[in-house]
Amino acid sequence: METLWDIHQPDSERVAELQRALNLNPLAATLLVNRGIRSVEHARRFLDSSLADIKAPPEVKDIAIAAGRIARALETGEKILIFGDYDVDGVTGTALLLDFLGQAGARVDHHIPHRRREGYGLKVEHIAAVAVPGAYKLIITVDCGISSHAAVEAARRNGIDVIVTDHHTPDEGPLPAALAVVNPKRQDCPACLEHLAGVGMAFYLLIQLRAHLREEGFWKDRSEPNLKHLCDLVALGTVADMVPLVKENRTFTQAGLELLSTSRRPGLQALMAASRIDSRRIEADDISFRLAPRINAAGRMAHADLAVDLLTTEDPDEARRLARRLDELNRQRRSIEQDIVERIIAGLEGDARHLQRPAILLLGSDWHEGVLGIVAARLMRRYAKPVILVAANGDTARGSGRSTTGLDIFALLQECADLLEAYGGHAMAVGMTIAVDRWEDFRQRFWQVLESRPEHAATGPRLDIDMELTLDAVDRALFDTLDRLKPFGQKVPEPVFMARDVEIVSQQMVGGRHRRMRLRSRGADARRIVPAIQFNVGEDHTLPDRLQRIAFHVRRHTWNGADGHQLHVIATRA
């Protein structure tokens, strides 16, 4: 089905109002309105966010109880176990708590389960095999725990308190019987912080804990941690988890990106070097496409403890060794991922019936479970429909799903819960476990539920265009405007522009699958030749010298130490 190019038509009065009130140029005002930022006050907060403006932690249900219990553990010297998830959100949240509690003098350890051997979340066996033998009296979960009813009960029977910090949607029914459940998505939480990632929720707990300890005079004889210095970890987890980059998430990310450029953490310094990032200018894309994949590679290909060790080490030599290891694991991950993607695409496009369904649901017998979330995301973008991929291991299959904007894939799984052994996630991404012999029943049910949803409109893939430009308008002023609106992410998408009647001055394939080009607008007034790149176009695919239109992002491009910009072409029409 052909992609519809939909050019935004923003409210001109709103655009003019933002221009006047905030002294913005027409481009900046238009881009804000296109992103749903229509009032002057909303735009002012968006452009000038500050840590001082975040919501007060006490509004979060159970957070005061959690802070009080951790304070008691600090005062009495009780052993604390941080139990995290194996993705970037969980890893950074775990490192965050280890950093702060270590500075506070806590007796603290951590455990992150092995993705394939232990699976997701706190389980009964973790209480018996980890918590009880370690003599822990308090467990704090990070980015997990909201569905761990049996494990929380097992901990209680063994005299262990549990504090759940999570951001995933709770199951229907009662919450786990933990001492505190710190989750903004619980129905009785009035904080309106549902947009937070797991690491953001853990950070909120630390804000409350520091204030609680300050009231008790805890910091009188010791140095009080600077919470802003932890925002580098919060930014990493927030951007990587693809939560909406609005409100507190935007504030945390802006503060964290500033910190990353002068990071005090040897592990992040080494990982940025291994990722070939110019540390003078760190952007959200550097997290999404360079840092996060390498951190995630630990949990996908080996064990997430490698990533926790990287983020918490004080030894530069150890940091470089771990960064090299994560870089190698990421190369292995890319190779395995590409092989699975190519095989799935060949199967889908070899039989048109597969693509007639409203969602792509596939079970494989020889897929690496650790990369299925990335593969599902790539297929979702290619075919513009939800994708769920599971890998069979004996009688059980586990995997991941990704959804398109506007379709809540977690809600869809809830409609099929009786067919699943376990599931979790949020609107855009889920994980699940299912018995192999129930897979076909699940597929039929999922398709039926999806087709019954009013938001499932078979309109085909759509490309949202912010505005039309000539390539001569791609100049320093445009780039400066985009800089002011960063960081971009979920709910604040990177601007997409369109140019008509474009001449390809030159083109060549690089890296086997990418096209490097030099472009200019056609016409007597056209002057500027603009460098461009188009990724993952495949081999032996040459474009004509003239294109009716192109859609593109404008991004920073550094070459031989000099700053410039280039177009990232995302679609063309000949």
| CATH code where residue 190 lies | 3.90.1640.30
Domains contained in the chain, number: 3
Q: Quick one: 71 and 220 in the same domain? A: yes
Q: Quick one: 483 and 429 in the same domain? A: no
Q: What is the pLDDT of residue 140?
A: 98
| CATH code where residue 405 lies | 3.10.310.30
Q: Quick one: 419 and 498 in the same domain? A: no
Cα 326 to Cα 135, 366, 370, 419, 480, distances in angstroms: 32, 24, 14, 36, 34
Residue where a domain stops, chosen among 205, 225, 245: 225
Q: What is the pLDDT of residue 407?
A: 86
174-178, 354-358, 411-415, 498-502: range with lowest mean pLDDT = 354-358
Which conformational region is residue 276 in: left (phi greater than 0), alpha (psi within -120 to 50 degrees), or beta? left
Residue where a domain stops, chosen among 225, 244, 262: 225
In a domain, 525, yes or no: yes
Confidence category of residue 262, pLDDT binned at 50, 70, 90: confident
| CATH code where residue 519 lies | 2.40.50.460
Q: What is the pLDDT of residue 562?
A: 55
Residues 418-445, mean pLDDT to the nearest whole number: 92
Cα 69 to Cα 162, 306, 405, distances in angstroms: 10, 29, 39
Q: Quick one: 89 and 159 in the same domain? A: yes
Residue where a domain stops, chosen among 225, 246, 263: 225
Strand partners, 138: 80, 161
Q: What is the pLDDT of residue 557?
A: 76
In a domain, 370, yes or no: yes
Write the pLDDT tens digit of every residue in 149-175: 999 999 999 999 999 999 998 988 899
Q: Is pLDDT at 266 greater than 80 in this prediction?
A: yes
In a domain, 100, yes or no: yes
Structure tokens at 294: 């390498």
Q: Is pLDDT at 496 greater than 90 in this prediction?
A: yes
Q: Quick one: 106 and 198 in the same domain? A: yes
Which residue, 408, 401, 359, is CA-closest to 384?
359
% of the chain beyond a pLDDT of 70: 97
In a domain, 42, yes or no: no
87-96, 121-130, 166-175, 193-202: range with lowest mean pLDDT = 166-175
**10, 14, 18, 21 alpha-carbon torsion, rounded to 10°:** 170
Residues 399-422, mean pLDDT to the nearest whole number: 91
Q: Quick one: 498 and 387 in the same domain? A: no
Residues 71, 462: Cα–Cα separation, whole Å: 51
Which domain does 407 fall in, by range?
Answer: 351-452
In a domain, 37, yes or no: no
Q: Quick one: 468 and 446 in the same domain? A: no
pTM score of the predicted model:
0.90
Q: Quick one: 218 and 107 in the same domain? A: yes
Q: Please classify residue 266 by burial: count the beta carbons closer than 10 Å to its beta carbon, then call 0-12 exposed, 13-18 middle and 19+ buried.
A: buried
Q: Quick one: 73 and 219 in the same domain? A: yes
Q: Quick one: 524 and 427 in the same domain? A: no
In a domain, 394, yes or no: yes
Q: Quick one: 80 and 205 in the same domain? A: yes
Q: What is the pLDDT of residue 211?
A: 97
Q: Quick one: 217 and 82 in the same domain? A: yes
